[in-house]
Amino acid sequence: MNKSVFVFILVVILTISVITTIGVDVTGVNNFKTVFAQIQARQSDVALSNLIKQGQPYQGSKSSPVSLIMFGDFQCHDCDRFVKYTEPQINSTYVKTGKVALVFVHIPNKGFDSWPAALAAQCTNDQGKFWQFHKLLYNNQGPIDSGWVSIPNLKKFAFQISGLNMQEFTSCFDNQKYKALAEHDLALAHAFGFTNSPSFIVTKSDGSNPQKIEGAQPFIAFKTVIDKELGA
Amino acid sequence: MTNVASNVIKEKLVNLKTTIPIAFKILFSNSFYIAMVGVVSTIFWIFFNSFDQLLFFSPIISFYLPDDAIPGFILTNITSILMGILVAMNVHVIRNSKIKLDKSLLSGSILGIASSACASCSSLGFLVISIFGRFGTIATDLLTNYQIPLRIISICILLWALYSVQNRITKRCILDDVFVNRQRENSHHHPQ
């Protein structure tokens, strides 16, 4: 093996790794002009009143000045990390104090079972039980497509939620009532350039001045953006 | 037969006790290689932790280590350091040896680099999905679900690559030593 060939391969590998690292964070996350144009074009889509009208699950006050929109998947491990470590801090600091409304938008693309999980969760929202179901699924999260959110298991999870009308839920779930909504959610996520979950938009309640946050980031990252949006 | 095999292994382990410190002494006696280990390890550390969603650059630079990420973080730290040492040792071999590089050196280091880089493939799932569709989903499911065992395998491959590279560094020294000793002996026997 020629020495120069070896050195060349080594340099190529190192260069690729450096470019990929920079690329992920500069091209993927901060491709600001393109993303900003997409966000401006869809400002009305992320207005809190519109999201609630469409049937997106939310927590907090309808009159919150700022919305935090989470694009999540029930099979996504990093979403689980966000729900367990960061969401409680956001809840106590901003949601319960009426400053921020937390809205959930589905991006069911981690595996084959992500789709039925999203549809089932949306059906529980009909009866005001989305956040309980959401917590239950994340607390029981298993490996991707291992069957933990298979259709029978989703029904079993729903059965565990006290006060949920199972007949209503089953009818909604079996008829894929929210298939169109889930498709709309996925299209919305893609319109913002999100392909991975969890991803977030922090915006004023009318959908203006949207700011992107990608990944299960620590509370301080959310605090920085939310405080700026609140004008604090 | 088993006795012979166990003796060979024992002998190799005893040899390692001598050769590994020599290889490290050679490498770390030169500040250029120390810097190289530092730079390469840092590059890979950033690379792995960005993909693992522990290191973020936007909206603010932040590093975050929740409890569930600790085992993966330990493994990526080991991988990054091994990568740094491995690359520096390979560069040392290339710069100092006059012998032709063979395939085992190439496969050792390249396989090591590729496998450790692949340990973070699962984080690239969305890219694979968008490129390969459903097949990509199955592939990334496997990579995500078996992330920890894959990382352990990649560390094993790196250790094997490191073993083969340090062998090359120390063998050259031992050969040099033998050569010098023979020359000395010759000069004693045939004084000019």
Q: Which residue of A has its CA nearest to B117?
A: A17
Compute the nearest-CA separation of B72 from chain A (Å).
13
Give residue B94's pLDDT band: very low, low, confident or very high (50, 70, 90).
Answer: confident
Q: What is the dihedral of CA B27, B32, B38, B43, to 10 degrees?
A: -120
Amino acid at A144: I
**Is pLDDT above 60 for B59?**
yes
Do residues A217 and B64 lie in contact, with contact meaning Cβ atoms separated by under 8 Å? Answer: yes
Of the candidates A18, A21, A37, A5, the residue with the CA atom closest to the CA atom of residue A192: A37
Strand segments (E) across chain A: 58-59, 66-72, 100-106, 199-204, 211-214
Alpha-carbon separation of residue B87 from A13, A17, A162, B92, B125 (angstroms): 11, 14, 58, 9, 27
**Is pLDDT above 50 for B100?**
yes
Chain B hits for A196, CB-CB cut-off 8 Å, are: 125-126
Position with higher pLDDT, B100 vs B11: B11
Position with higher pLDDT, A151 vs B1: A151
Chain A hits for B64, CB-CB cut-off 8 Å, are: 217-218
Of the candidates A182, A189, A193, A200, the residue with the CA atom closest to the CA atom of residue A115: A182
Q: What is the pLDDT of residues B135-178, one digit of tens each?
A: 556 666 666 778 788 788 878 888 888 888 887 777 655 555 55
A69 burial via Cβ count (<10 Å: 0-12, 13-18, 19+): buried
Which residue among A6, A81, A225 sits closest to B59, beta carbon to beta carbon? Answer: A225
Cβ neighbours for B76, distance < 8 A, ≥ 6 positions apart: B45, B48, B49, B52, B119, B120, B151
Contact A17 B117 (CB under 8 A): yes
Q: What are the start-end ranges of the H helices in A129-177?
A: 130-139, 151-159, 166-174
Query: d(Cα A161, Cα A175) in Å, to the nearest integer?
Result: 20
pLDDT of the residue at B182: 64
Where along chain B do its domains lie? 2-189
Q: Is B145 on the interface with A (CB under 8 A)?
A: yes
Q: What is the DSSP letter of A99?
A: S
B8 burial via Cβ count (<10 Å: 0-12, 13-18, 19+): exposed
Alpha-carbon separation of residue B82 from B55, B76, B105, B121 (angstroms): 20, 10, 15, 19
Q: Which residue of B has its CA nearest to A212?
A: B59
pLDDT tens string, chain A, 232 residues long: the values are: 566 666 666 666 666 555 544 444 433 333 444 444 455 546 788 999 999 999 999 999 999 999 999 999 999 999 999 999 999 999 999 999 999 999 999 999 888 899 999 999 999 999 999 999 999 999 999 998 899 999 999 999 999 999 999 999 999 999 999 999 999 998 899 888 887 889 999 999 999 999 999 999 999 999 999 999 999 5
Chain B hits for A35, CB-CB cut-off 8 Å, are: none
Tell me how far the alpha carbon of residue A96 is from its chain's centroid. 20
Return the sign of the alpha-carbon dihedral for residues A84, A89, A91, A95. negative
Q: What is the ipTM of this complex?
A: 0.76
Strand segments (E) across chain B: 55-56, 62-63
Give residue B187's pLDDT band: very low, low, confident or very high (50, 70, 90).
Answer: low
Position with higher pLDDT, B189 vs A83: A83
Give residue B192's pLDDT band: very low, low, confident or very high (50, 70, 90).
Answer: very low
The distance between the two most distant Cα atoms of chain A, rounded to a whole number of Å, is: 72
**Is pLDDT above 90 for B188?**
no
pLDDT of the residue at B101: 55
pLDDT of the residue at A32: 41
**Is pLDDT above 90 for B77?**
yes
